Chains A and B, each alone.
Chain A
Amino acid sequence: MSGTFLGMPAFPVNAADAVQNSQLRHNLRRATHTIRDKRSRVVAEVPDWAELRSAAKAIKDAALRDLDRHLLRLEETVQAAGGHVHWARDAAEACRIVTDLVRATGETEVVKVKSMATQEIGLNEALADSGIHAYETDLAELIVQLGDDRPSHIVVPAIHRNRAEIREIFLRAMPDASPDLTDDPAALAEAARLHLRQRFLSSKVAISGANFAIAETGTLVVVESEGNGRMCLTLPETLISVVGIEKVLPTWRDLEVFLQLLPRSATGERMNPYTSTWTAATEGQTFHLVLLDNGRTDVLADEVGRQALRCIRCAACLNVCPVYERAGGHAYGSVYPGPIGAILTPQMRGMGTPLDDSLPYASTLCGACYDVCPVAIDIPEVLVHLRDRSSHPRAERAALRAAGWMLARPERLARAQRLAFRLRRLVPRRLPGPLSAWTDTRDLPDIPPESFRDWWKRTEGGTR
């Protein structure tokens, strides 16, 4: 992937561009609505979802509270099982470690499983600089890589491309693609299967991330759909896994919670097709674990913001977000788009650039992201907290803080809505400051004389 997120303009500029692109908006709307409907159906059939969610929150909080201890335990258990453990303070250090490990094998090609952490550190570019080609093997990542593009969604990264575009990309960049290739998704998937099969069989080195790392046993877990993950984790002689330090879970048993929450939240399936677990040097492989900080300890230091580290990257918050649905993933200028990106990116990178400063405003604070989050991250709370920390004028911060306070709780919202009806002639048509780009492409909706809630109550659901 040669696309880079560095030096990107602020969110409102990117979002304004995206909002104009109707193909993108159509794709995004269809995708996010399809996944969220499936998600609600499979979540509704789990009678103890609320209890699982609160256990997940508690497990992650406990893991983060004693993160040093759990990481040391993980190091010990991985080493005891024959694996090697490396620590990386930042992106550059992680890239250097991985590059050196690949070089030591003498290989110049590696296969990769989709991994947010390696995208975050720009590993493919770093490897390319050292003459090592990294082949993405996840279908969506392959589309993104061959199209010289950037991912736009955490779980379905190529969702901004339609089938005709994907066919063109394959015909252009896949030397072995048949000229008769149609744009039927099954045919496109088959082309990817054939394209990668020989590479899987001959690759000596693979690079992965991990969804979870179990401190107690040294076990790593990768959750996937296509089987490209299994190929990479199983066939090559050397496996290098780059894992953020927040991925650690204290015990094997903790998986019983997360393997119920993650698939249902991410793709709306009861279970994803394949989950692989392995403990260090399995079946004779050489195994390296690279533990990555890269700003995570800064997030950990913020009392309110640290809950963002509970994130298991399910993307449920993206799929319900009205801002993401219209702006798309690229506008967020980071590998972490949507509501989670709006709170994670500025904290990890440290605020200061116009993009990172504007991210906490890329939200209407409607709270839908919090409701669906399987680890109960109160994203609106963190957004409001970060707005406070950003470099916008004080008055504006105060106004937005008040808005955040109102929108965070339904009863406050109801009260404020009633107040707003009375004052509606005084409301501006444009939002202030960084949100003005948002309203430049749309008028703020008129405030109706009565809220839906009040109308529903008064008319008993429209029956009167």
Chain B
Amino acid sequence: MNARDTILRRIRAATADAPPAEAVSRGYRTAGGAVRHEPGEDDLIALFAHRVDDYHASVRRVPAGEAAQAVGAAARERGLTTLAVPPGLPEEWTSGLTAVRLLRDDPPLAPGELDRAGGVITGCAVAIAETGTIVLDAGPGQGRRALTLLPDYHLCVVPADRVVRGVPEAVALLDPRRPQTWISGPSATSDIELDRVEGVHGPRVLDVIILGN
């Protein structure tokens, strides 16, 4: 008997007299269910900003029309000279970057080029307020997975209407067939005496711009 059949046979024998599986009761806060707000945190966007800040990522909130200024300010602050750009990113977001060379990932940049890029700018598919998480799913303006991995700096623009309350809302909106990267703060490790160090292999710095209210 091959391994597959043996394992399946073992499983069937092991569970033969177990009672049938019970229906899963989802008594927790599900997507679309009543939202139980924390006192003082009923503004989802404020909650998201607060939680991102907890990870030592910088957050700024700007009105919808001021993306270009905010991106320009971030680039100046971080002293960027090059920035990788995924296909499908709104042109307007990078329109204020006069002193920065844009590296368009179309055709795809070689890993070495990406590694040398000063940073990368993306949008996102969904953002989760309660956990301060941004999710990229390789959609327009988000790029392939390596794009936000190799450069040492990630600037993520989050349109306010992408922010949802919790994990269930995000899971319901996301398509599992698309590769996803859930990002909560810069890469980090606590492996050495539990001292948190930001930045190991992923970007060491994450800036988030929340666009519109």
A-side interface residues toward B, CB under 8 Å? 27, 30-31, 34-35, 45, 47-48, 51-52, 54-55, 58-59, 61-62, 64-68, 71-72, 81, 86-89, 93, 137-140, 143, 156-159, 162-163, 166, 185-186, 188-189, 192-193, 196-197, 200-201, 214, 217, 219, 225-228, 230-231, 233-235, 245, 252-253, 255-257, 259-260, 263, 267, 269-279, 282-283, 291, 293, 297-298, 300-301, 303, 306
Query: Nearest Cβ in chain B — how far from A51, in angstroms?
Result: 4
Report how far A30 CA is from B192 CA in the complex, Å.
Answer: 12
- Residue interface bits B100-132, CB-to-A below 8 A is 1, else 0: 000000000001100100000000000010111
Among A166, A267, A275, contact of B190 (Cβ-Cβ < 8 Å)? A267
List the 8 closest pairs (A to B, CB-CB), nearest first: A227-B202, A227-B201, A301-B14, A297-B10, A62-B21, A226-B200, A275-B182, A271-B184
- Residue interface bits B176-198, CB-to-A below 8 A is 1, else 0: 11011111111111111111010
- Work out how many contacts link A and B, with CB atoms closer than 8 A: 234
Q: With a 10 A CB-CB cut-off, give which of B8, B22, B51, B170 has the most chain A CB atoms.
A: B8
Report how far A30 CA is from B18 CA in the complex, Å.
Answer: 42
Task: Contacts A48-B28, A55-B24, A143-B191 given; indicate if A228 touches B15 (C-beta within 8 A).
Answer: no
- B156 CB within 8 Å of chain A: no
B3 with A228: CB separation less than 8 A: no
Report how far A54 CA is from B195 CA in the complex, Å.
Answer: 33
Q: With a 10 A CB-CB cut-off, give which of B25, B132, B167, B176 has the most chain A CB atoms.
A: B176
- B72 CB within 8 Å of chain A: no
Query: Nearest Cβ in chain B — how far from A237, in angstroms?
Result: 12
Query: Nearest Cβ in chain B — how far from A110, in angstroms?
Result: 17
Report how far A279 CA is from B175 CA in the complex, Å.
Answer: 11
Query: Nearest Cβ in chain B — how far from A97, in angstroms?
Result: 9
Instruction: Give A159's nearest chain B residue, CB to CB.
Output: B194
Known: A201-B115, A234-B145. 7 other contacts (CB 8 A): A48-B29, A65-B20, A226-B187, A270-B130, A277-B176, A283-B138, A297-B14
Instruction: Give A49's nearest chain B residue, CB to CB.
Output: B28
Task: Contacts A230-B149, A234-B149, A277-B179 given; indicate if A201 touches B193 (C-beta within 8 A).
Answer: no
- B73 CB within 8 Å of chain A: no
Instruction: Give B185's nearest chain A residue, CB to CB.
Output: A273
Residues of chain B lying within 8 A (CB to CB) of residue A51: 26-28
A273 with B188: CB separation less than 8 A: yes
Among A45, A140, A185, A271, contact of B133 (Cβ-Cβ < 8 Å)? A271
Query: Nearest Cβ in chain A — how far from B160, in angstroms?
Result: 20
Task: Contacts A30-B194, A257-B28 given; indicate if A58 touches B179 (C-beta within 8 A).
Answer: no
Report how far A301 CA is from B15 CA in the complex, Å.
Answer: 6
B29 with A47: CB separation less than 8 A: yes
B200 with A189: CB separation less than 8 A: yes
Report how far A272 CA is from B184 CA in the complex, Å.
Answer: 6
A93 with B200: CB separation less than 8 A: no
B-side interface residues toward A, CB under 8 Å? 2-4, 6-8, 10-15, 18-22, 24-31, 36, 38, 51, 54-55, 111-112, 115, 128, 130-133, 138, 144-146, 149, 166-168, 170-172, 176-177, 179-195, 197, 199-203
Residues of chain B lying within 8 A (CB to CB) of residue A259: 167, 171, 182
A163 with B181: CB separation less than 8 A: no
Query: Nearest Cβ in chain A — how far from B97, in angstroms?
Result: 26
Task: Contacts A55-B27, A143-B191, A300-B14 given; indicate if A273 touches B3 (C-beta within 8 A).
Answer: no
A59 with B145: CB separation less than 8 A: no
Query: Nearest Cβ in chain B — how far from A335, in angstroms?
Result: 17
Task: Contacts A252-B171, A253-B171, A257-B28 given; indicate if A188 touches B185 (C-beta within 8 A).
Answer: no
Query: Nearest Cβ in chain A — how far from B37, in angstroms?
Result: 10
Query: Nearest Cβ in chain A — how far from B128, in angstroms?
Result: 8
Residues of chain A lying within 8 A (CB to CB) of residue B168: 256
Residues of chain A lying within 8 A (CB to CB) of residue B10: 293, 297, 300-301
Among A58, A227, A234, contact of B25 (Cβ-Cβ < 8 Å)? A58
